Amino acid sequence: GETPYIKLITQLYGDRMVIANATGCSSIYGGNLPSTPYTKNGEGLGPAWSNSLFEDNAEFGLGFRLTIDKQQQQARELLTSMNGAVDAGLKEEILNADQSTEPGIFEQRERVAKLKELLEKSDAKEAKMLSSIADYLVRKSVWIFGGDGWAYDIG
């Protein structure tokens, strides 16, 4: 019964989803060959997935969240400091974007794509650095998958 849940959740969150998976039954029901419940969009993009030993999967997933948050913070700081290099209106829209809905996330992706186009035209060190982490300005959703072994619920 878990496989349909994985399919549904990856359809809902798509390529902005990051999954920390525990070794064990979640690896089995998530990898039923020749099919897979992990979906992709029309551009061929889907969730990022990585596997850990089941004993430390909570910490592994927390590490994902902390890393993403730090990268986003760094991207926001760089964007804020780039006076003149980035249109003030675009900067303001990106920094204050409402990403609580799918349309809001879609609009943020469009803004970040415009930002990256602008950054490619610059030789500034900050522009190169921001370009490498600009995708973190689009909200990510971190999920931790595990089974009964990871949850200490065997027996």
Q: Which two tokens stand for residue 48?
A: 């990022």
Domains of the chain, by residue range, sit at 2-145
pLDDT in tens, 22-43: 887 777 776 767 778 888 899 9
SS3 at position 141: strand
31 against 74, higher pLDDT: 74
Mean pLDDT of 60-70: 96
Confidence check: pLDDT of 58 > 70: yes
Buried b (16+ CB within 10 A) or exposed e, 4-30: eebbebbeebbbbbbbbbbbbbbeebb
- End-to-end distance of the chain based on CA atoms, in angstroms? 19
Give the global pTM: 0.87
Q: Is 122 exposed, middle or buried (0-12, 13-18, 19+ CB in 10 A)?
A: middle
pLDDT in tens, 79-125: 999 988 899 999 999 999 999 999 999 999 999 999 999 999 999 99
pLDDT at site 119 = 95
Separation between Cα atoms, residue 67 and residue 102, nearest integer Å: 23
We find that the CATH architecture of domain 2-145 is 3-Layer(aba) Sandwich (3.40)
pLDDT at site 155 = 62
